A and B are shown apart, each in its own frame.
Chain A
């Protein structure tokens, strides 16, 4: 084994740095090859690490590697450490494999783009960050990757930044993700407060064996519940779940390979990965799992519904991604972590394939993604069509294709799960039913997309029709590979009920691999298994059938009739239930008004006028006053100088003060003695005023005098020291109490 784990994220990052600095010096071919090679090399290293040390990866907590200690504070060491166990290894393979394919695809897709070094640099940056996220062994390291993919996503969505819409889509994605990141951080803080560590294995151990995370925190819920909830806020931001899903459809403004890699196959699944990574923490708090599952199920159904009425190829796929991510969250949220990750795995193939088909179609259609202007492309784009068909059947959940197995694992898990205990037992069946409906919706909108784009007559203009052509080999090759993955990747997770048919026993390969990382797979009885498979096949086929009735071979009469019957509802769905408008009303507009007010009053008036202008005014005023002294006549300056110097000399010539004054009171007699007088006392004379009338009562050449007071009281005596030569004097007062 020659691999070092840190090489896996490092290679793409180095590629990104090199391309960003020197990419412009190289030809297109060099840039493309370099970018693809770094990711491919990462894939080779990851595969080598994963398969050659498989027992260790799976059963002994994975391979871990300490790159260096990032920082230490008190008892906490935060290491830049990486770990490849079955979970992170699987993700790592998916990211590098699909990443490499999409780099190859991009070489064809971006053939007419002149700013290609920047594109490939960002793409490499994304891969490096994603691999850091996946392999990170402590929460801060994961967070670096988490932020890194957010950054790369922002940069790539706004890749064609000259159009304002694209730039704002990037900003929207970034800001929405920031809201989620805040949740991630809060979760990290909570975990750290409870367990005192940031290392993921230590946190999971603490969750499995200790009580730190089970201690109640707020509202009687344990730390794990709140930490899990905060992590889910982060996951919802990254993985586009309600209420933070709004950025993903807009993110389609980026180039299509970006949509395929980042916004379908890899980055958006980071949230699911996070929940699975923290599985032990979530198992402490079933209520948090229930939240994850319910939000996932509602998102799955809601996004599928929006997908019905979208007319942009990539928008349909975007809502489909949101919906499928909901499926994954239901998987992990029902304690069926292996199921959720399984769907993540298969989804990466078929959704990346679908997006690349979208790219291929739009490439053929002169860049337009409007499906109302398509149709009949099956004849003109044979390869793309075949690939799309396979991926379409996979996402619909037609048996044998990958989506069938993974979706079924999630559906069956939802009904069979027992993680919630008695109080929340209703959650499982509820999300199961919601998911069933969402699966029906999925089959419907995906079939609608297929029928409208690939069957029937072509609705495009003659000009566009003339240009329709199959994509180049660099684009078709990744498509074919992904289609193979979409068809076959399901076989790593065949459920036990089906395995028995071929004479094998026990759980699927994937479940066995993932068991040490995310816990034992759910026990699903064979009855539920078979029922689930039957129902989901039925759902898939009826969805496809329904779509055929409406859209087979183009828009058919039922589709027109439906729009005619419920025009307002269709408009509402087409406008995505106006959630963006709702957010604008609830958050953005109040925030903008607040900003305007603070800008007007705080910034303009308080800061600019008063705090800054005020000081300037004071300085100006001081200058105006002082300048009257500056008469410009050198002789007056000299006169002032002479007067000042004289005063200084006079002050310096005064007799120096005595070091200490001794007062002795006996009955009514007080004696004052000045101790530590200057060394030439013969030149000084001393006079004393004891009764406080200002007239000296005693005078002497020695620094001592006595006085007999007439009665008790509080007196203030003054002592005058005079220098006879210069006629300077020093005066000080002394309190005397006579009892």
Chain B
């Protein structure tokens, strides 16, 4: 599969994905049930029963799983910083053409 890009930037270079606050999470798994992109993975037999397995599957700027979380246990990066980063990488890639 060719490399996935977002706005012309390889997805792997954009740090956008949810972070689970394990102090708040009660493993209701609503976020996993909701996300159609397989970002999370359930691990029944481990202490952390839910992990962010495929961070780069996460849709850049999407925070929808966070809205399913009544406990506010999911956080995301700062959008302004992320946009800045995307612009930087685009500049860099233009320079390489």
Is the A/B pair a real complex? Answer: no
